[in-house]
Structure 1
Amino acid sequence: MLWQRLKAIFVYLWNFRYLPLKYRWPLIKIRRRLVPTRTGLGLRNALRHARSLQHPPEPNPYLFVLRLLWPFPTWRFPATLPPPPREIMASPERVCCQVRDIMYLRSMPLWRARDTPQRSFYRIYEAFCAADGRMITYETEYFWRRPGPDWATANIPDPECRDPEQYAVMASLAEVLAESFVWRLELGMRRTDRSIISRSEECPPPFAPEVPPPWTAKVPALKKKLIIDPEEEDNYFDSPFHRRNIYMATGWFYTV
Protein backbone atom coordinates (compact mmCIF):
# COMPACT_ATOMS: atom_id res chain seq x y z
CA MET A 1 0.00 0.00 0.00
CA LEU A 2 2.81 2.39 0.83
CA TRP A 3 4.49 1.69 -2.51
CA GLN A 4 1.24 2.31 -4.41
CA ARG A 5 0.74 5.55 -2.52
CA LEU A 6 4.26 6.75 -3.32
CA LYS A 7 3.79 5.76 -6.97
CA ALA A 8 0.55 7.77 -7.17
CA ILE A 9 2.28 10.81 -5.69
CA PHE A 10 5.15 10.50 -8.16
CA VAL A 11 2.78 10.27 -11.15
CA TYR A 12 0.85 13.28 -9.84
CA LEU A 13 4.02 15.37 -9.63
CA TRP A 14 5.61 13.96 -12.79
CA ASN A 15 2.59 14.90 -14.96
CA PHE A 16 2.16 18.37 -13.38
CA ARG A 17 -1.44 17.61 -12.43
CA TYR A 18 -1.36 20.30 -9.77
CA LEU A 19 -1.22 22.96 -12.52
CA PRO A 20 -3.94 24.20 -14.89
CA LEU A 21 -4.04 22.48 -18.26
CA LYS A 22 -2.75 25.52 -20.17
CA TYR A 23 0.49 25.39 -18.14
CA ARG A 24 0.68 21.63 -17.92
CA TRP A 25 1.15 20.84 -21.62
CA PRO A 26 4.05 23.27 -22.23
CA LEU A 27 5.87 21.79 -19.23
CA ILE A 28 5.23 18.23 -20.44
CA LYS A 29 6.68 19.14 -23.86
CA ILE A 30 9.78 20.59 -22.23
CA ARG A 31 10.10 17.49 -20.05
CA ARG A 32 9.89 15.21 -23.10
CA ARG A 33 12.74 17.12 -24.75
CA LEU A 34 14.92 16.99 -21.67
CA VAL A 35 14.01 13.43 -20.65
CA PRO A 36 12.97 11.49 -23.79
CA THR A 37 10.88 8.42 -23.09
CA ARG A 38 11.46 6.81 -26.47
CA THR A 39 14.78 5.79 -27.94
CA GLY A 40 15.89 3.81 -30.96
CA LEU A 41 16.53 0.87 -28.67
CA GLY A 42 12.84 0.45 -27.90
CA LEU A 43 13.51 -0.48 -24.28
CA ARG A 44 10.05 0.42 -23.07
CA ASN A 45 8.32 -1.79 -25.64
CA ALA A 46 10.85 -4.56 -25.03
CA LEU A 47 10.06 -4.47 -21.32
CA ARG A 48 6.33 -4.56 -21.96
CA HIS A 49 6.55 -7.45 -24.41
CA ALA A 50 8.96 -9.36 -22.18
CA ARG A 51 6.15 -9.61 -19.62
CA SER A 52 4.04 -11.43 -22.22
CA LEU A 53 6.58 -14.10 -23.21
CA GLN A 54 5.33 -17.58 -22.34
CA HIS A 55 7.61 -20.11 -24.09
CA PRO A 56 9.58 -20.01 -21.93
CA PRO A 57 8.16 -17.36 -19.59
CA GLU A 58 10.53 -14.66 -18.43
CA PRO A 59 10.49 -14.53 -14.61
CA ASN A 60 12.02 -11.06 -14.61
CA PRO A 61 11.41 -8.83 -17.66
CA TYR A 62 14.01 -6.31 -16.46
CA LEU A 63 16.72 -8.97 -16.54
CA PHE A 64 15.54 -10.02 -19.98
CA VAL A 65 16.02 -6.47 -21.30
CA LEU A 66 19.41 -6.21 -19.60
CA ARG A 67 20.48 -9.44 -21.32
CA LEU A 68 19.53 -7.86 -24.64
CA LEU A 69 22.00 -5.08 -23.86
CA TRP A 70 24.76 -7.45 -22.74
CA PRO A 71 27.19 -7.89 -25.69
CA PHE A 72 29.31 -10.71 -24.28
CA PRO A 73 30.58 -13.24 -25.28
CA THR A 74 29.31 -12.19 -28.73
CA TRP A 75 26.82 -9.60 -29.90
CA ARG A 76 25.01 -12.02 -32.21
CA PHE A 77 22.81 -14.65 -30.64
CA PRO A 78 24.16 -18.20 -31.09
CA ALA A 79 22.30 -20.59 -33.39
CA THR A 80 21.55 -24.09 -32.12
CA LEU A 81 20.80 -26.88 -34.58
CA PRO A 82 17.15 -27.96 -34.14
CA PRO A 83 16.07 -31.60 -33.73
CA PRO A 84 15.62 -33.92 -36.74
CA PRO A 85 12.34 -33.68 -38.68
CA ARG A 86 10.63 -36.73 -37.21
CA GLU A 87 11.25 -35.53 -33.67
CA ILE A 88 9.56 -32.20 -34.44
CA MET A 89 6.75 -33.97 -36.31
CA ALA A 90 6.07 -36.08 -33.21
CA SER A 91 5.41 -32.96 -31.09
CA PRO A 92 4.58 -30.06 -33.44
CA GLU A 93 2.79 -28.15 -30.68
CA ARG A 94 6.15 -27.26 -29.13
CA VAL A 95 6.93 -25.22 -32.25
CA CYS A 96 3.46 -23.87 -32.96
CA CYS A 97 3.07 -22.41 -29.48
CA GLN A 98 6.09 -20.15 -30.09
CA VAL A 99 4.45 -18.07 -32.84
CA ARG A 100 3.03 -15.49 -30.46
CA ASP A 101 6.32 -15.07 -28.60
CA ILE A 102 8.34 -14.71 -31.79
CA MET A 103 6.04 -11.90 -32.92
CA TYR A 104 6.76 -10.10 -29.65
CA LEU A 105 10.51 -10.64 -30.04
CA ARG A 106 10.54 -9.30 -33.61
CA SER A 107 9.03 -6.04 -32.34
CA MET A 108 12.17 -5.43 -30.23
CA PRO A 109 14.90 -3.52 -32.18
CA LEU A 110 17.62 -4.92 -29.93
CA TRP A 111 16.49 -8.51 -30.48
CA ARG A 112 16.33 -8.00 -34.25
CA ALA A 113 19.81 -6.45 -34.24
CA ARG A 114 21.22 -9.52 -32.49
CA ASP A 115 19.28 -12.05 -34.54
CA THR A 116 21.04 -13.93 -37.35
CA PRO A 117 19.99 -15.41 -40.71
CA GLN A 118 20.99 -18.86 -39.48
CA ARG A 119 18.65 -18.59 -36.50
CA SER A 120 15.81 -17.40 -38.76
CA PHE A 121 16.52 -20.23 -41.20
CA TYR A 122 16.31 -22.74 -38.34
CA ARG A 123 12.96 -21.25 -37.27
CA ILE A 124 11.63 -21.74 -40.81
CA TYR A 125 12.88 -25.32 -40.70
CA GLU A 126 11.09 -25.97 -37.40
CA ALA A 127 7.87 -24.43 -38.73
CA PHE A 128 8.15 -26.54 -41.87
CA CYS A 129 8.62 -29.78 -39.95
CA ALA A 130 5.69 -28.83 -37.69
CA ALA A 131 3.58 -28.13 -40.82
CA ASP A 132 2.74 -24.71 -39.39
CA GLY A 133 1.96 -22.69 -42.50
CA ARG A 134 1.29 -19.48 -40.58
CA MET A 135 4.71 -19.54 -38.93
CA ILE A 136 6.38 -20.39 -42.27
CA THR A 137 4.79 -17.31 -43.83
CA TYR A 138 5.69 -14.99 -40.95
CA GLU A 139 9.30 -16.15 -40.78
CA THR A 140 9.78 -16.10 -44.56
CA GLU A 141 8.49 -12.52 -44.68
CA TYR A 142 10.81 -11.60 -41.81
CA PHE A 143 13.81 -13.12 -43.64
CA TRP A 144 12.81 -11.32 -46.86
CA ARG A 145 12.66 -7.93 -45.14
CA ARG A 146 16.23 -8.19 -43.88
CA PRO A 147 18.07 -6.75 -46.91
CA GLY A 148 21.64 -6.85 -45.56
CA PRO A 149 24.27 -8.92 -47.38
CA ASP A 150 24.45 -11.37 -44.50
CA TRP A 151 20.78 -12.18 -45.14
CA ALA A 152 21.26 -13.15 -48.79
CA THR A 153 20.08 -16.70 -49.39
CA ALA A 154 23.47 -17.54 -50.91
CA ASN A 155 25.09 -16.90 -47.52
CA ILE A 156 22.95 -19.30 -45.45
CA PRO A 157 25.56 -21.31 -43.52
CA ASP A 158 25.94 -25.05 -44.04
CA PRO A 159 24.29 -26.77 -41.03
CA GLU A 160 26.41 -29.90 -41.64
CA CYS A 161 23.66 -32.19 -40.36
CA ARG A 162 24.49 -35.77 -39.53
CA ASP A 163 20.89 -36.85 -39.95
CA PRO A 164 20.30 -37.35 -43.73
CA GLU A 165 16.60 -36.42 -43.48
CA GLN A 166 17.42 -33.20 -41.67
CA TYR A 167 20.13 -32.33 -44.19
CA ALA A 168 17.77 -32.99 -47.12
CA VAL A 169 15.01 -30.85 -45.60
CA MET A 170 17.37 -27.95 -44.89
CA ALA A 171 18.95 -28.08 -48.35
CA SER A 172 15.53 -28.11 -50.01
CA LEU A 173 14.37 -25.34 -47.70
CA ALA A 174 17.29 -23.09 -48.69
CA GLU A 175 16.53 -23.70 -52.38
CA VAL A 176 12.80 -23.01 -51.97
CA LEU A 177 13.60 -19.85 -50.04
CA ALA A 178 15.79 -18.61 -52.90
CA GLU A 179 13.12 -19.52 -55.47
CA SER A 180 10.39 -17.72 -53.54
CA PHE A 181 12.58 -14.61 -53.28
CA VAL A 182 13.22 -14.65 -57.04
CA TRP A 183 9.46 -14.92 -57.53
CA ARG A 184 9.00 -11.76 -55.46
CA LEU A 185 11.77 -9.97 -57.35
CA GLU A 186 10.15 -10.84 -60.67
CA LEU A 187 6.92 -9.27 -59.40
CA GLY A 188 8.83 -6.03 -58.91
CA MET A 189 9.27 -6.27 -55.15
CA ARG A 190 12.61 -5.50 -53.54
CA ARG A 191 13.99 -6.56 -50.20
CA THR A 192 14.66 -2.94 -49.25
CA ASP A 193 10.93 -2.11 -49.35
CA ARG A 194 7.52 -3.60 -50.10
CA SER A 195 6.75 -1.68 -53.28
CA ILE A 196 5.46 -3.43 -56.38
CA ILE A 197 5.76 -2.10 -59.91
CA SER A 198 2.67 -0.56 -61.42
CA ARG A 199 0.58 -2.53 -63.88
CA SER A 200 1.48 -0.08 -66.64
CA GLU A 201 5.09 -1.29 -66.62
CA GLU A 202 5.75 -4.24 -68.89
CA CYS A 203 8.61 -5.71 -66.87
CA PRO A 204 10.19 -5.14 -63.47
CA PRO A 205 13.42 -3.19 -63.14
CA PRO A 206 16.61 -5.27 -63.30
CA PHE A 207 17.66 -7.13 -60.19
CA ALA A 208 20.34 -9.49 -58.94
CA PRO A 209 18.61 -12.86 -58.44
CA GLU A 210 18.76 -14.70 -55.16
CA VAL A 211 20.52 -18.06 -55.37
CA PRO A 212 20.71 -20.99 -52.96
CA PRO A 213 23.93 -21.54 -51.00
CA PRO A 214 26.53 -23.78 -52.70
CA TRP A 215 26.34 -26.54 -50.07
CA THR A 216 22.82 -27.53 -51.16
CA ALA A 217 24.21 -29.08 -54.38
CA LYS A 218 25.95 -31.86 -52.45
CA VAL A 219 22.87 -33.00 -50.50
CA PRO A 220 21.29 -36.07 -52.18
CA ALA A 221 17.66 -37.11 -52.32
CA LEU A 222 16.26 -39.39 -49.65
CA LYS A 223 15.88 -43.06 -50.47
CA LYS A 224 12.83 -43.34 -48.23
CA LYS A 225 9.86 -41.01 -48.58
CA LEU A 226 9.55 -38.36 -45.87
CA ILE A 227 5.95 -37.19 -45.47
CA ILE A 228 5.74 -33.93 -43.53
CA ASP A 229 2.04 -33.41 -44.21
CA PRO A 230 0.03 -36.61 -44.98
CA GLU A 231 -2.55 -34.56 -46.90
CA GLU A 232 0.11 -33.65 -49.46
CA GLU A 233 1.31 -37.21 -50.10
CA ASP A 234 -0.88 -37.71 -53.16
CA ASN A 235 -0.20 -34.23 -54.54
CA TYR A 236 2.87 -33.42 -56.61
CA PHE A 237 4.31 -29.94 -56.89
CA ASP A 238 7.61 -29.59 -58.67
CA SER A 239 9.88 -28.24 -55.95
CA PRO A 240 13.24 -29.00 -54.33
CA PHE A 241 11.35 -30.88 -51.62
CA HIS A 242 9.74 -33.35 -53.99
CA ARG A 243 13.01 -33.77 -55.89
CA ARG A 244 14.49 -35.01 -52.62
CA ASN A 245 11.49 -37.27 -51.87
CA ILE A 246 10.01 -34.91 -49.25
CA TYR A 247 6.26 -34.33 -49.34
CA MET A 248 4.97 -30.94 -48.26
CA ALA A 249 3.33 -28.04 -50.12
CA THR A 250 5.35 -24.86 -50.64
CA GLY A 251 2.55 -22.31 -51.05
CA TRP A 252 3.26 -20.79 -47.64
CA PHE A 253 6.58 -19.46 -48.99
CA TYR A 254 4.90 -17.52 -51.78
CA THR A 255 3.04 -14.64 -50.17
CA VAL A 256 3.06 -10.89 -50.70
Structure 2
Amino acid sequence: MCAADDAIIGYYTEYLFFRPEPEWSIDLIADPRTIETDTDIGPTLTEQEMAERLAVMAWLVVSLEESFNWRPKLGLRRNGTVEENRDGTPVPWTPVHCPSRAHEIPALSERLILSHNRYDLNRQPGETTRYNVIFNGTSLRTV
Protein backbone atom coordinates (compact mmCIF):
# COMPACT_ATOMS: atom_id res chain seq x y z
CA MET A 1 0.00 0.00 0.00
CA CYS A 2 2.69 2.46 0.92
CA ALA A 3 4.33 1.97 -2.47
CA ALA A 4 1.08 3.33 -3.96
CA ASP A 5 1.34 0.97 -6.93
CA ASP A 6 -2.31 0.65 -7.89
CA ALA A 7 -1.71 -2.08 -10.47
CA ILE A 8 0.13 -4.34 -8.02
CA ILE A 9 -2.43 -3.68 -5.27
CA GLY A 10 -5.17 -4.59 -7.74
CA TYR A 11 -3.42 -7.86 -8.63
CA TYR A 12 -3.06 -8.81 -4.97
CA THR A 13 -6.69 -7.95 -4.28
CA GLU A 14 -7.82 -10.14 -7.16
CA TYR A 15 -5.50 -12.92 -6.00
CA LEU A 16 -7.12 -12.86 -2.56
CA PHE A 17 -10.65 -12.54 -3.96
CA PHE A 18 -10.31 -15.57 -6.24
CA ARG A 19 -9.30 -17.84 -3.36
CA PRO A 20 -12.69 -19.12 -2.11
CA GLU A 21 -11.15 -21.73 0.18
CA PRO A 22 -11.90 -21.18 3.89
CA GLU A 23 -8.24 -20.64 4.77
CA TRP A 24 -8.26 -17.52 2.56
CA SER A 25 -11.16 -15.93 4.40
CA ILE A 26 -10.51 -12.30 5.35
CA ASP A 27 -11.99 -12.89 8.79
CA LEU A 28 -8.84 -14.92 9.51
CA ILE A 29 -6.49 -11.97 9.00
CA ALA A 30 -4.37 -11.79 12.13
CA ASP A 31 -4.76 -9.09 14.73
CA PRO A 32 -1.71 -6.82 14.39
CA ARG A 33 -1.64 -6.48 18.17
CA THR A 34 -0.82 -10.17 18.52
CA ILE A 35 1.67 -10.78 15.72
CA GLU A 36 5.38 -10.12 15.67
CA THR A 37 6.98 -8.35 12.74
CA ASP A 38 10.52 -7.42 11.82
CA THR A 39 9.98 -4.01 13.41
CA ASP A 40 9.13 -5.72 16.68
CA ILE A 41 12.69 -7.02 16.87
CA GLY A 42 14.03 -3.48 17.04
CA PRO A 43 12.89 -0.65 19.28
CA THR A 44 9.45 -0.88 20.79
CA LEU A 45 6.80 0.93 18.79
CA THR A 46 5.60 4.21 20.18
CA GLU A 47 1.93 4.62 21.02
CA GLN A 48 1.47 6.66 17.84
CA GLU A 49 3.21 4.04 15.69
CA MET A 50 1.04 1.28 17.15
CA ALA A 51 -2.10 3.39 16.61
CA GLU A 52 -1.07 3.93 12.98
CA ARG A 53 -0.40 0.22 12.48
CA LEU A 54 -3.82 -0.66 13.88
CA ALA A 55 -5.64 2.01 11.87
CA VAL A 56 -3.98 1.02 8.59
CA MET A 57 -4.69 -2.68 9.12
CA ALA A 58 -8.28 -1.95 10.17
CA TRP A 59 -8.75 0.26 7.11
CA LEU A 60 -7.33 -2.47 4.88
CA VAL A 61 -9.47 -5.36 6.15
CA VAL A 62 -12.65 -3.25 6.16
CA SER A 63 -11.83 -2.11 2.62
CA LEU A 64 -11.28 -5.72 1.56
CA GLU A 65 -14.66 -6.61 3.06
CA GLU A 66 -16.29 -3.82 1.04
CA SER A 67 -14.42 -4.87 -2.11
CA PHE A 68 -15.23 -8.56 -1.71
CA ASN A 69 -18.92 -7.74 -1.23
CA TRP A 70 -18.96 -5.27 -4.14
CA ARG A 71 -17.87 -7.83 -6.72
CA PRO A 72 -20.77 -10.27 -6.10
CA LYS A 73 -23.16 -7.37 -6.65
CA LEU A 74 -21.81 -7.42 -10.21
CA GLY A 75 -22.39 -11.18 -10.41
CA LEU A 76 -18.71 -12.11 -9.91
CA ARG A 77 -18.05 -15.08 -7.65
CA ARG A 78 -14.88 -16.04 -5.85
CA ASN A 79 -14.66 -19.29 -7.83
CA GLY A 80 -14.33 -17.26 -11.05
CA THR A 81 -17.87 -17.73 -12.33
CA VAL A 82 -20.41 -15.04 -13.15
CA GLU A 83 -23.87 -15.74 -11.75
CA GLU A 84 -26.81 -13.70 -12.92
CA ASN A 85 -30.57 -14.08 -13.09
CA ARG A 86 -32.24 -13.97 -16.49
CA ASP A 87 -32.84 -10.25 -16.07
CA GLY A 88 -29.10 -9.66 -15.53
CA THR A 89 -29.29 -9.11 -11.77
CA PRO A 90 -26.84 -11.12 -9.66
CA VAL A 91 -28.11 -14.10 -7.73
CA PRO A 92 -27.99 -13.85 -3.91
CA TRP A 93 -24.69 -14.59 -2.22
CA THR A 94 -23.33 -14.86 1.28
CA PRO A 95 -21.48 -11.66 2.20
CA VAL A 96 -17.96 -11.91 3.60
CA HIS A 97 -17.04 -10.21 6.85
CA CYS A 98 -13.77 -8.93 8.19
CA PRO A 99 -12.79 -9.49 11.82
CA SER A 100 -15.17 -7.54 14.06
CA ARG A 101 -12.19 -6.06 15.91
CA ALA A 102 -11.43 -3.94 12.83
CA HIS A 103 -14.60 -1.94 13.46
CA GLU A 104 -13.50 -1.28 17.05
CA ILE A 105 -10.24 0.49 16.16
CA PRO A 106 -10.49 4.24 16.79
CA ALA A 107 -9.65 6.80 14.13
CA LEU A 108 -6.26 8.46 14.31
CA SER A 109 -6.21 11.95 15.81
CA GLU A 110 -4.49 13.30 12.67
CA ARG A 111 -4.72 12.22 9.05
CA LEU A 112 -2.23 9.62 7.91
CA ILE A 113 -1.71 10.05 4.17
CA LEU A 114 -0.39 6.90 2.50
CA SER A 115 -1.34 7.93 -1.01
CA HIS A 116 -3.71 10.48 -2.36
CA ASN A 117 -5.43 11.98 -5.30
CA ARG A 118 -6.79 15.46 -5.89
CA TYR A 119 -10.06 14.61 -4.15
CA ASP A 120 -8.25 13.55 -0.98
CA LEU A 121 -6.21 16.76 -0.87
CA ASN A 122 -9.35 18.89 -1.05
CA ARG A 123 -11.22 17.17 1.77
CA GLN A 124 -12.48 19.35 4.55
CA PRO A 125 -11.95 18.52 8.25
CA GLY A 126 -14.46 15.89 9.29
CA GLU A 127 -14.72 14.63 5.71
CA THR A 128 -11.81 12.20 5.94
CA THR A 129 -12.09 8.47 5.56
CA ARG A 130 -12.78 6.02 8.32
CA TYR A 131 -9.80 5.70 10.69
CA ASN A 132 -8.38 8.98 9.34
CA VAL A 133 -6.22 6.97 6.93
CA ILE A 134 -6.05 8.49 3.46
CA PHE A 135 -5.38 6.03 0.68
CA ASN A 136 -6.65 5.92 -2.88
CA GLY A 137 -8.43 2.58 -2.54
CA THR A 138 -9.72 2.34 -6.09
CA SER A 139 -7.18 -0.41 -6.78
CA LEU A 140 -9.12 -2.63 -4.37
CA ARG A 141 -12.06 -2.58 -6.79
CA THR A 142 -10.72 -4.06 -9.99
CA VAL A 143 -12.68 -6.41 -12.24
Identical pairs, percent: 37
Per the alignment, do residues 205 and 231 of structure 1 end up closer, same or farther by CA in structure 2, a change over 3 Å counting? Answer: closer
Indicate the residue corresponding to 2:130 in structure 1: 243
5 Å-filtered alignment, 1:58-73, equals: none
5 Å-filtered alignment, 1:98-113, equals: none
Task: Tell me the amino acid that sits aligned with residue 159 of structure 1.
Answer: P
1:130 aligns with 2:17: no
Which among 200, 206, 223 is matched to residue 92 of structure 2?
206
Indicate the residue corresponding to 2:67 in structure 1: 180
Per the alignment, do residues 142 and 235 of structure 1 end up closer, same or farther by CA in structure 2, a change over 3 Å counting? Answer: farther
Which among 114, 123, 128 is matched to residue 228 of structure 1?
114
Tell me, in whole angstroms, the C-alpha distance in 1 between the residues paired with 2:117 and 2:91: 39
Identify which range, 154-163 or 244-253, moves more after superposition. Answer: 154-163
Structure 2 unaligned runs (5+)? 35-44
Task: Tell me the amino acid that sits aligned with residue 246 of structure 1.
Answer: V
**1:217 to partner: Cα distance:** 2.1
Higher share of residues assigned helix: 1
Tell me, in whole angstroms, the C-alpha distance in 1 between the residues paired with 2:116 and 2:138: 16
3-state secondary structure, aligned to 2:70: helix
Task: Tell me the amino acid that sits aligned with residue 5 of structure 2.
Answer: D
Please tell me whether Structure 1 or Structure 2 has the larger radius of gyration of its CA atoms.
1
1:144 aligns with 2:17: yes
Per the alignment, do residues 167 and 254 of structure 1 end up closer, same or farther by CA in structure 2, a change over 3 Å counting? Answer: same
Task: Tell me the amino acid that sits aligned with residue 158 of structure 1.
Answer: D
Contact kept, 8 Å, 2:84 with 2:91, in 1: the verdict is no
**1:221 to partner: Cα distance:** 0.2
1:191 aligns with 2:64: no
TM-score, structure 1 normalization: 0.45
**Coordinate RMSD, CA, aligned:** 2.1
Identify which range, 227-236 or 156-165, moves more after superposition. Answer: 227-236
5 Å-filtered alignment, 1:41-120, equals: none
Which among 48, 51, 61 is matched to residue 164 of structure 1?
51
- Relative contact order: is structure 1 or structure 2 higher (C-alpha 8 Å, sep ≥ 6)? 2
**1:203 to partner: Cα distance:** 2.2
TM-score, structure 2 normalization: 0.77
Indicate the residue corresponding to 2:37 in structure 1: none
Structure 1 unaligned runs (5+)? 1-127
Tell me, in whole angstroms, the C-alpha distance in 1 between the residues paired with 2:91 and 2:113: 39
Tell me, in whole angstroms, the C-alpha distance in 2 between the residues paired with 1:176 and 1:197: 23
Q: Number of paired residues? A: 124
Tell me, in whole angstroms, the C-alpha distance in 2 between the residues paired with 1:141 and 1:202: 23
1:3-44 deviations in whole A, cap 9, x for unaligned?
xxxxxxxxxxxxxxxxxxxxxxxxxxxxxxxxxxxxxxxxxx
Tell me, in whole angstroms, the C-alpha distance in 2 between the residues paired with 1:143 and 1:159: 19
5 Å-filtered alignment, 1:23-34, equals: none
